Amino acid sequence: MTDTIYALSSGQSPAAVAIIRISGPAAASTLKALAGRVPKSRRATLQRLTDPASGDVLDHALTLWFDGPATATGEDLAELHLHGGRAVVARVLRTLAALPGLKPAEPGAFTRRAFENGRIDLAEAEGLADLLFAETELQRLSAIAMAEGGLSTQVVMWQDKLLGLSARTEALLDFSDEDDVDEDAGAATALSAEIAAMAAEVRAFLARPSGERLRDGIRVALAGPPNVGKSTLLNALAGREAAIVSPRAGTTRDVIEVPLALAGRPYVFVDTAGLHAGSGDEIEAIGMERARRVIAKSDIILWLDEQSASPAPERTITVHARADVAGREVAPSSADLAVSAATGEGMDRLVGMLTARADALLPRPGELALNTRQRDLLADCVESLVGDADLLITAENLRRARGALDRLTGRAGTEDMLDALFGRFCIGK
């Protein structure tokens, strides 16, 4: 028998309203114990909640009752909309803890139950998780596409197609006509062509920008020689003193990461130690080594040096910094733009250039973006989508491709169905 779980589902108190959710078989008896009766399903009801042990009044709350299984968790579900004071919430949680069959929910337990009860699949659960952590509008749009089942719908279509291809392979195997080898070979070739077409379709989906950049931010390195204004530029972009700035060369030694949204795009700016040829001291050498690693891993490099070329020109915006300083008013042609963190000159243009580069790396608004897990499984699927002259091998390849798609949604539906289907009878026999 499953436990009934409960948790504060709204933000931290104090707040105007606090929502406690209760999901599981004892949700109805819990509501009855607290409010005297279970209100009408799906109708907000004002009820007086009391502690059944002491008779103390807990709160006058709006209660909601959803009878399962057509609920968010797939179970009976109750919501208590309490006054959001700390003591109110603490006392109600304590009262719930004392009731039989109830236990506090682990993180994600409500969503987990929704998955286990078939209300959502894995890809949708991942979308929900992203939605909760979305900080920019772009992240929200992509997460909602995933949570609404955008990827799942696509996967179901591929699963259907694969099932059809599998069934045809099995049929060819069973009906293979030893007298007409040519006809069999022709059918196998046609099948292979269709499998290749499907592989191309999945591969095209894989070519989309990844969801990680959208979720974690585009990594932008601030790099170049010492004392050119890297940290000052970071602070100007961030609008706060994130990094120490000083007239001394070699001020920044370690790597400083600052997550930042600019023009609605998520970034992580990474300030680095100035690079120079001199030996310097040991700590400086370590700092430079770290800077090189940051540069290697960055999506975009803001290279604050027009004398030397960036180590990765294709990912670089060359910045002529400190453009307000006497003698630096004119940017050399090697620079993409001139900026001054002191006067703000060129800052809008810099953000514009970053936005253009970011948009090439990020999914379009509302476009589905795959995370690493989904990407790996789709890659497995593509790898298995190969037709072979030996139909037994083709059948096995298709089975593996189906397995990858099943793992993507966390549902082994098609595999179960095929086992049942092909286990019961054999075509042609």
Ligand X SMILES: Nc1nc2c(ncn2[C@@H]2O[C@H](COP(=O)(O)OP(=O)(O)OP(=O)(O)O)[C@@H](O)[C@H]2O)c(=O)[nH]1
Nearer to ligand X, 205 or 303 (CB): 303
In the chain, the amino acid numbered 135 is: E
Q: Rounded CA gap, 80 and 94, in Å?
A: 14
Task: Pick the piece of the chain touching ligand X (CB under 6 A) from 34-42, 48-56, 240-248, 310-318.
Answer: 240-248
Which residues line the annotated binding site?
21, 79, 119, 227-232, 246-252, 271-274, 429
| Residue 123 contacts ligand X per CB under 6 A | no
Min dist. Cβ of residue 345 to Mg ion (A): 20
Under rule CB under 5 A, residue 252 binds Mg ion: yes
DSSP class of 252? -
DSSP 314: G
E strands, 305-355, in order? 316-320, 337-338
**Bridge partners of residue 60, in order along the sequence:** 48
What span, in angstroms and rounded, lies between the C-alpha atoms of 342 and 325? Answer: 9
341 binds, among ligand X, Mg ion, none (CB under 5 to 8 A by kind): ligand X
Q: What is the CA radius of gyration of the chain?
A: 30
Closest of 110, 351, 327 to residue 339, by C-alpha: 351
SS3 71: coil
The binder of 227, among ligand X, Mg ion, none, by C-beta within 5 to 8 A per type, is ligand X
d(CA 43, CA 50): 20
Which listed residue (74, 274, 346, 387) binds ligand X by CB under 6 A? Answer: 274
Among 95, 231, 340, 394, binds Mg ion (CB under 5 A): 231
- Which residue in the set 21, 83, 168, 230 belongs to the binding site for ligand X (CB under 6 A)? 230
- Name the segment binding ligand X (CB under 6 A); options: 42-50, 134-142, 213-221, 339-347: 339-347
Binding residue positions for GTP: 227-232, 246-252, 271-274
Q: Which is nearer to ligand X, 26 or 339 (CB)?
A: 339
In angstroms, the CA 232 to CA 312 distance is 23
44 binds ligand X (CB under 6 A): no
250 binds, among Mg ion, ligand X, none (CB under 5 to 8 A by kind): ligand X
**Does the protein bind ligand X through residue 251 (CB under 6 A)?**
yes
Out of 116, 194, 201, 324, the only residue in the binding site for ligand X (CB under 6 A) is 324
Binding-residue total with Mg ion (CB under 5 A): 4
Q: Which is nearer to ligand X, 73 or 272 (CB)?
A: 272
The residue (of 21 and 230) whose beta carbon lies closer to Mg ion is 230
Report yes or no: 123 and 146 within 8 Å, Cβ to Cβ: yes
Cα separation of 62 and 404, whole Å?
45
Which residue's CB comes closest to ligand X? 274
- CB–CB of 43/67 below 8 Å? no
Between strands 57-66 and 45-50, the pairing is antiparallel
What residues form the annotated binding site for (6S)-5-formyl-5,6,7,8-tetrahydrofolate?
Answer: 21, 79, 119, 429
Does position 232 interact with Mg ion (CB under 5 A)? The reply is no
The torsion region of residue 108 among left (phi > 0), alpha (psi -120 to 50) and beta comes to: left
100 binds, among ligand X, Mg ion, none (CB under 5 to 8 A by kind): none
Please give the Cα distance from 278 to 285 (Å, whole number).
9
Q: Which is nearer to ligand X, 324 or 359 (CB)?
A: 324
What does DSSP say about strands 256-262 and 265-271: parallel, antiparallel, or unpaired?
A: antiparallel
Residue nearer to Mg ion on the CB measure, 72 or 221: 221
**Of 38, 105, 221, 341, which one interacts with ligand X (CB under 6 A)?**
341
Interface with ligand X: number of residues (CB under 6 A): 23
363 and 369 Cβ atoms separated by less than 8 Å: yes
Spatial neighbors of 287 by CB under 8 A, at least 6 apart, are 252, 253, 254, 272, 273
Does position 355 interact with ligand X (CB under 6 A)? The reply is no
Binding site residues, Mg ion, CB under 5 A: 230-231, 251-252
- The residues that touch ligand X, with contacts defined as CB under 6 A, are 226-232, 245-247, 249-252, 273-274, 321-322, 324-325, 340-342
